[in-house]
Chains A and B, each alone.
Chain A
Amino acid sequence: MVSAGLSQPSSTRLLADKLATATVARLADEGATTRVVTYELRDYAQDVMNNMLTGFASPRLETMIEAVTAADGLIAVTPIFTTSYSGLFKTFFDVIDNRSLTDQPVLIGATAGTARHSLALDYALRPMFTYLHAVVVPTSVFAASEDWGSGDGRVDSRLATLPARIERAAGELTTLVAASDRSSRVPDPFELPAGFNPAGVSPAGVGRAR
């Protein structure tokens, strides 16, 4: 779980926690035990920016990136600043290898003061994860300030309240996480592309070592 919330406590983190709790409960229903690791990007802010400037991750950031990219599912939540994800959130996804999230199940969430920003999930976050070839679940969860005062749908079930949206998104992520073997894979950083030929693709015999 990656949260780009800044304050303590943070509503972004609160949303991330609720998404994780709902997903873990559903996975438990299916008999799966889940380990949730939460990263507040604020704790890595300097490492992330240093990585942007130097081109390599500090040891602690590298450990964190390995954990995030090897997870069976990722819950990524950001506050919406100036109509888009926060710069810290984007910078984190800018510094990781752009192949490292391929096929990873991802649930995206965002928070903001008003519901007018809710489409940022679909015009900013979703395209970014699509570019990274992650598998983003259809339901993304946006929480405006007013949503924290909404009911859970028991009083009026016609409303797609925040708790209802969280449940639906968690259900979608659960299906993908349950089917994932990502966390048990052993990545080989030295794997060469299929058909790789160190002598190039020229006619046979060219470049033969002698």
Chain B
Amino acid sequence: MQFGIFTVGDITTDPTTGDAPTENARIKAMVAIAQKVEEVGLDVFATGEHHNPPFVPSSPTTLLGYIAAKTERIILSTATTLITTSDPVKIAEDFAMLQHVADGRVDLTLGRGNTGPVYPWFGKDIREGIPLALENYALLRRLWREDFVDWEGQFRTPLQGFQSTPRPLDGVPPFVWHGSIRSPEIAEQAAYYGDGFFSNHIFWPASHTAKMVQYYRQRFEHYGHGTAAQAIVGLGGQVFMGKKSQDAKRHFRPYFDNAPVYGNGPSMEDFTSQTPLTVGSPQEVIDRTLGFRDYVGDYQRQLWLMDHAGLPLKTVLEQLDLLGEEVVPVLRQEFAKNRPTDVPDAPTHDSLRIAAHTPVAAAAAVRDDLDTAAAIAPAKTGAAFGLARAGRDGA
């Protein structure tokens, strides 16, 4: 089980002081947070990608490349990399380059992005978000797996004999997660390839996340990548802690009440009851996080959003101390209990490299007709309801 931090990279005014960091200070804060992730014993640092203020991270591999040099152990990832508006050729090259620089400590989460104008700014159409995500990723996979690619599609200029460079480290492409909140097409895509599925469920009710993850798991099994329980699931989360529950609530409330995404809406109490947001003691965070397993099954990666809504760097680093000292060690222990031995960990560069050298075991189960209509046949109508029911019974 991996634990880590994902950052949106927003510049937000601290509602308690009226101060907002400069771009430079915010970017350096992201680096400091990543270093803290390593220092306190977490496993993953992931950055968002945005092309509009008030967000700073437009160039994730630049940031992650620098962090790679400042860290030794943590996995550098994204949440998310825009597979719709970025050229898949450039994504292939950027992340292969990052793999070499970081000695393989790299994976990425693909997402579509939901900022309308970004699509036309990059010459795309938001109404084609899903087809773009499907086609661009299909090309991205080939660029990493085939030395020379002849390719033609709907959205990009054709390629003849193209070789993306550098080649993936050790010939092993980075592991890919597909992030989506509500599009079954993306869960289907993740399942089809046997990739990971990341549900950032911080703004959505648990019941919804449960259904999406169950759907992905069922389709993962359908496509022959393993049992539903062996599918690779990541979750987003959002916490704010204090030694005592009331301290946490008092400290976080002004940030909650003014947060860009949910501020001036529901009360913090309503929002925490309806979404995974937890504001309280480390023990409350432990209990809530362990509860995620009840509705998504044993999963592989837990990322938290920590540095948003104008929280100052000092506070974020204190929160990371609490996570590393009091929360994650207990979670590691508890999540390991009763975890079936055949539920895998999230793939890493090393595990993928080893699997690539033992191809028989790795590839045996994948159905060999993946590109046929029979394989892609949809689940029976209403199957999702059967799943949702099974999910509840199993919880």
A: residues with CB less than 8 A from B are 49-50, 53-56, 58-59, 62, 186, 188-193, 196-210
Contacts and interface: CB of A to CB of B under 8 A. Distances in A.
Contacts of B379: 190
Contacts of B151: 202, 206
A199 B134 contact: yes
B215 interface: yes
- The interface centre, meaning the residue of A53, A190, A191, A201 with most chain B CB atoms within 10 A of its CB, is A190
Contacts of B263: 53
A59 B138 CA distance: 38
Nearest to B367: A209
A204 B378 contact: no
B194 A209 contact: yes
B17 interface: no
Q: Is the interface of B mostly helix, strand, loop or mixed?
A: helix
Given A192-B184, A196-B378, A207-B139, A50 B192 contact: no
Interface residues of B, number: 52
B204 A207 contact: no
Contact of B383 (A50, A190, A207): A190
B371 A208 contact: yes
B266 to A, nearest CB: 4
A202 B131 CA distance: 10
Contacts of B275: 56
B363 interface: yes
B99 to A, nearest CB: 19
Contacts of A197: 134, 376
Contacts of A59: 205, 274
B189 A198 contact: yes
B192 A202 contact: no
A46 B262 CA distance: 14
A207 B382 contact: no
A190 B384 CA distance: 7
Contacts of B54: none
Contacts of A203: 152
Contact of A196 (B188, B262, B265, B363): B188
A199 B131 contact: no
Given A58-B274, A190-B211, A198-B191, 18 more contacts: A50-B265, A50-B266, A53-B262, A53-B265, A54-B271, A56-B208, A59-B205, A190-B187, A190-B383, A191-B184, A191-B381, A196-B378, A199-B134, A199-B371, A202-B151, A207-B138, A207-B139, A209-B366
21 contacts: A50-B265, A50-B266, A50-B270, A55-B203, A56-B204, A190-B211, A190-B384, A192-B188, A196-B185, A198-B188, A198-B193, A200-B131, A200-B134, A200-B136, A201-B134, A201-B153, A206-B153, A207-B142, A209-B192, A209-B194, A210-B145
